Structure 1
Amino acid sequence: MDDDTSGETASRPAAESPAPTRRRLLRRDRLPAYALVSFAATQLVLLFWWVAYYPGLFSPDSLNYMWQSTTGNWNTHHPITYTSLVWLSLQLTGGVAALTLLQTVALAAGLTYAVTGLRRLGGPGWAWTTAAVVLVALPPVGSFVLAVWKDVPFVVVHVFLLGTVARLVARRRAGDTPAFPRSLFLALLAELTLLCLFRQNGFIVTAVLIAVCLLVLRATAVRMIVAGLTAITVALLTNWLLLPALGVRDAGSLVALETLFGDIAVGYADDPAGFSATDTAVMAQVAPLSHWRESADCYSVDPTVWAPAFDRDAAAVHKSELVSIWGRLLKRSPGGVIGGRLCRSSIGWNPASTGNVARNPNPWSVKAYVARDPLFRASPARYDAYSAPRSQAAYDLAVQLNARTVNPEWLWWRGANWAYAAYLVVGLVAWRRREPAVLALASLTAGNQLSVLAINNMQGARYMFAPYVLGILLLPLLLTARRPTGSAPERDPVEAAPAESGQVG
């Protein structure tokens, strides 16, 4: 237990003990009402976005989920976890409105769980509730949660994880035992497993979270390692054994190799003479050399790998040879490859606008997607992939709000900036309160940023939406930065009350 706490307990007269206990009990009684207010307020705002963009917003990825789940062409190009949710919504309700409504409920519940956990670290309740409500009122967030995208549940899981980590930090501050109770262990295990199942970079986020917590929450080390390894193992076994057994077709490793193809294009455009005749012969079997050169764009691999001139089937056949070409390029020009990767991952670290950020899907744009995608025209779900607002007034307001939050990009769409804000806030609180354990709250943001730096294929704002959400949600921590002189860390009212009550009795 913290030395300040023990000193305060020893010096307090016995007659004074009932009053603090009563205050803790009263605050404990208010906690459920506070949670209810937080959930109701955030859900009400999210319902506005749901009515405005009913049944949801769509992208080419959305159509692929719907095509797979309605034509039986299940494959691993996108996480089956989310494709299955799309399928379930279509089967039970004939559309995706139930799924997008569920996404709003999950986010509201996650925010409630997060802010009630963060409140245990200090700060007024109104500040945490306000942060949650302001967050979902922001057009980038409000419209994002209505998108039929795997990234939405990925971000929601991050919010729940923040609530679990905050509770572990609060227990560390209060000196509670056990430091990692079974309920939080099970919550962490479920959250990390879903994180890895919804996106592949969930593995990197999990690894970073565990590493940071091992450093600053050492009392949780064993269960942290067990939870992380179990989550990763379950996700890998699901992908490697369960899905093939269920008849899900392996989409192959071509998607994972797209960044390598992008490196080759950039390298060829910079120095075509550096490629041997053997290399160019292989490249020409996949796409004309002119396409490799002219499509080179360090910000995105899409112009290279998704153009009609690029034969993806041929790329799959010659993928080992292309990987060898990339390896030789890396040896010959490591600075060029690294520079291209930094350019492509700039959405994750560059605070300045790059002018080509892909934002949330727009309503109605699905008509263009359907027209250009012959596969989707064969899906019976094509009639369900259109936005049909339940309120024209709500839709008009949503469109106006989104139009007003396009610029400045650094504020509304650069998740990197909110990552830096999170580091600043958490670092300041940890330093001022002399509590390194608080640094664990920034581990999720760091994991996302590192995963984007490690491998990224385009400037998609959604890849940094978790740091965006967490950065805003952590701002009220600033109100807890200064630790009152001579006072003890505040114990959690729910967990502390029974022990204190026993002392009084």
Structure 2
Amino acid sequence: MTGDTMLRRPPGTGGPGLRERAVAQHRRVRPSRRMPLAVAGLCQVVLLLWWLAAYPAFVSYDSAMYVWQVTDPGHWTADHSALYDAIVLWSLKLTGSVAPVVLLQTVGMSLGLGYAVSALARLGARARWSAPAAVALVVLPPTGTFVVFLWKDVPFTICGVFLLAAALRLLSRKLDGTIGHGGRALRLDLAVFFLAMLGLGLFRNNSYGLMLVVAVLLLAALPLVRRRIALLTALSLAVPLALNLWAYSAIWDIHRPPASSVYALNYDDLAVAYHRDPAAFGAEDRAVLAAVAPLTTWDAAGYQCFSVDPLTNWGEGWDRHQAAAHSHELMSMWGRIVLDHPDYVVDARLCRSHIAWAIFAGPADRAGDTVVQSPKASPDLFGFTAPGGDLEHSRYADALRPHPAAQPLLRAALWLHDLFRAPQLDWLFWRGAVWCYLGYAALAVYARRRGSFAVLAVGGAVLLGLQLNLIVANAAPHFRYMALALFVGPLLLPLLAAGRGGARTAARR
């Protein structure tokens, strides 16, 4: 029996053949949705290869910390994302592995990129440019391997991609005049906007500045949905705040972060101020500083202003217990410095946010290098399984050890990651500032072509919010803190080739 005979049944002998059913299913999908679905599917295939190479996941120090905190009673604190910690715990309890968490991350990123391509299509960006841009993001090792790390920053970035796409779709509705007509599609975009904003707040505790910047810009540029944007933003801010301030500790017995974690940025501000002007600190101030760490440590950490790590993580003589005991005095000291020498605090914050604005890395002797986590975990899992380590006798330690489904894939992934770590490529593949500026440039060209300021305000909201947020709350020049810009910037570039009537034409499809 031939293949055609098997697929083409005679009339009246049953339902349609496999080929006919496949064609019918394909025709049911609107032409405007076929490309986004194809992009999402292709991205998923590529990310599955990265996932198999990393299986169960690429891990960092934070990954081991998550597992220890949620599996060792009494140590779970909300200094990381409590939601992400809970997802890790449920995965461990249900499957004994963290692999499902990372698999969900690949699905989320694939869907987010497909959704972004659909938003770009509504603005007139051709699939010949937007589809390769989306697929390239999962093919390239810096962004591809990032998605399969066990990190709270991955779902944060996925939410940022969805937020960009929802904002661009709302922008397209403004440009084609349909934003005031409501409808199911508009409600869907607003729902995605809300869930993405909520995810930003739940997956990164210091993302409120980003959320506020996005909300302010969208409120200014999209007056016809202003009330709904304001309400959804208020809810997305209120839920994480309520959980962090009350619900986690009251309901799930998740402890609040220690003072040394909450005030780490403030302590580093003091170090920068002390390095710049020791005379600004009186005898009582110096006594408090010396109780927490030697004054030489405060001075050295102030010189290495690009990161808090030289003070609170590896500062010589730093005593986190003393820092907690003297937190009130230290914060009072910080308040006086803000009033008397605000330039010192601004200097510290701008220095630590260097990665958000500077294309090239800062000086290495001042902790200005771009910090990139290697996907190759240490044999003792960053000391957690070493003698005396927190996971030394834990049955969950093996959940973090590499069990690659295919050793050649792992070797290829590690080789490719190292290949892109060449210092000359750092500015292009590991730092997000250059992609922010390229994204702004693409938006400016498109805004001029469409004659609308709303393009800059809405399209650039995520990037600008990310950059401004890192001035307020950034601890070190970690690549992952700007990973969102490495996804958003390339996705905006196809707008350079978008036609004048793109949004209106796409809306009629």
Q: Give the TM-score band, short-chain normalised.
A: 0.7 to 0.9
C-alpha distance in structure 1 between counterparts of 2:85 and 2:379, whole Å = 18
TM-score by length of 1: 0.87
- Residues 472/376 of structure 1: CA separation in 2 closer, same or farther (3 Å cut): same
Select the residue among 324, 332, 339 that pairs with 1:316.
Answer: 324
Moved more, 217-226 or 169-178: 169-178
Bigger drift between 466-475 and 175-184 goes to 175-184
Partner of residue 238 from structure 1, selected from 238, 243, 255 = 243
Q: Sort the Cα spacing of 1:335 and 1:239 in 2 relative to 1 into closer, same or farther, 3 A.
A: closer
Match of 1:135 among 126, 131, 137: 137
Counterpart residue number, 2:118: 116
| 1:374 counterpart SS class | coil
Query: Which residue identity is paired with 1:424?
Result: A
Give 1:18's aligned residue. none
Give the Å deviation of 1:488. Answer: 8.2
Tell me how far apart the structure 2 counterparts of residues 380 and 78 of structure 1 sit (CA, whole Å).
22
- Which residue in 2 is equivalent to 1:215? 220
Q: How far is 1:305 from its partner?
A: 0.9
Q: Does 1:329 align with 2:337?
A: yes
TM-score by length of 2: 0.87
Counterpart position of 1:466: 484
Distance 2:474 2:203 in 1: 16
Amino acid at match of 1:403: D
Cα shift at 1:34: 1.9
Residue matched to 2:408: 393
- 1:425 maps to 442
Q: How many residues align?
A: 466
d(CA) in 1 for partners of 2:482, 2:30: 37
Aligned partners of 1:346 and 1:86: how far apart in 2? Answer: 32
Contact 2:175 2:503 in 1 (8 A): yes
Contact kept? 2:440, 2:460, Cα under 8 Å: yes
Matched residue SS, 1:473: helix
Residue 83 (structure 1) aligned with residue 97 (structure 2): no
Partner deviation per Cα, 1:18-38 (whole Å, 9 max, x = no partner):
xxxxxxxx9973234323311
Structure 2 distance, partners of 1:366, 1:171, is 52
User: What is the deviation of 1:264?
Assistant: 1.7
SS in 1 for 2:504: coil
Deviations 1:71-114 (A, max 9, x none): 13321111111001111111111111111111111100111111
Confirm or deny: 8 A CA contact 2:179 2:224 kept in the other structure. Answer: no
* Structure 1 residue 153, shift from structure 2 partner: 0.2
Aligned residues of 2:81 and 2:203 also touching (Cα < 8 A): yes
Change (3 A) 1:325 1:45: same
Question: Residue 14 of structure 2 aligns with which residue?
Answer: none
Mapped partners of 1:321, 1:349: distance in 2: 33
After superposition, where does 1:43-62 map in structure 2 within 5 Å? 43-62=44-63
Greater CA drift, 146-155 or 190-199: 190-199
Mapping 1:100-111, distance limit 5 Å: 100-111=102-113
Do 1:143 and 1:360's aligned partners in 2 also have CA atoms closer than 8 Å? no
- Alignment pair present for 1:154 and 2:183: no
Where does residue 7 of structure 2 map in the other structure?
A: none
Q: Secondary structure at 2:383's aligned position in 1?
A: helix
Deviates more, 1:58-67 or 1:232-241: 232-241
Counterparts of 1:148 and 1:68, CA distance in 2:
14
Once the two structures are TM-superposed, the CA of residue 389 in structure 1 deviates from its matched residue by 2.2
Match for residue 4 of structure 2? none
Give me the whole-angstrom Cα distance separating, in 2, the residues matched to 1:438 and 1:182.
21
What is the rounded CA distance, in whole Å, between the counterparts of 1:373 and 1:215 in structure 2?
A: 55
Provide structure 1 residue ranges, at least 5 long, that are not aligned to the other structure.
1-25, 498-505
Tell me the distance in 2 between the aligned counterparts of 1:364 and 1:236.
34
**Cα-to-partner distance string for 1:189-243 (whole Å, 9 max, x where unaligned):** 2221111111123211211111111222111111010010011111111222321
Matched, 1:284 2:290: yes
Q: Is the 8 A contact 1:298 1:344 kept in 2?
A: yes
In 2: Cα distance, 1:240 partner to 1:199 partner: 14
Q: How does 1:477-496 map to 2 (within 5 A)?
A: 477-480=495-498, 482-483=499-500, 489-493=503-507, 496=508
Q: After TM superposition, give the deviation of residue 373 of structure 1 in Å.
A: 7.2
**Letter of the structure 1 residue corresponding to residue 272 of structure 2:** V
The one-letter amino acid paired with 2:400 is A
CA distance in 1, matches of 2:91, 2:350: 39
Runs (4 or more) in structure 1 with deviation over 4 Å come to none
- SS state at 1:364 partner: coil
Matched, 1:436 2:453: yes
Q: Give the unaligned 5+ runs of structure 2.
A: 1-26
Corresponding residue number in structure 2 for 1:344: 352
The aligned residue for residue 186 of structure 1 is 191
Specify the alignment match of 1:384 in structure 2. 399
Counterpart for residue 305 of structure 1: 312
Change (3 A) 1:401 1:488: closer
User: What residue number does 1:261 align with?
Assistant: 267
Distance 2:416 2:259 in 1: 40
1:488–1:29 distance in 2 versus 1, CA, 3 Å: closer
Which range moved further: 333-342 or 300-309? 333-342
Could you tell me which of 344, 355, 371 is aligned with 1:358?
A: 371
1:454 alignment partner in structure 2:
472
Amino acid at match of 2:297: H
Q: Does 1:415 align with 2:432?
A: yes
Q: Is the 8 A contact 1:58 1:147 kept in 2?
A: yes
CA change 1:373–1:299 in 2 (3 A) is farther
Task: Report the alpha carbon displacement of residue 273 of structure 1 after superposing the two structures with TM.
Answer: 3.5
State the Cα distance separating 1:369 from its structure 2 match.
3.1
Instruction: Find out whether 1:200 has 2:205 as its counterpart.
Output: yes
Separation (CA, whole Å) in 2 of partners of 1:335 and 1:195:
30
Query: How far, CA to CA, are the matches of 1:189 and 1:391 in structure 2?
Result: 39
Query: What do you get for the CA RMSD once the two structures are aligned?
Result: 2.1
Query: Paired residue for 2:42?
Result: 41
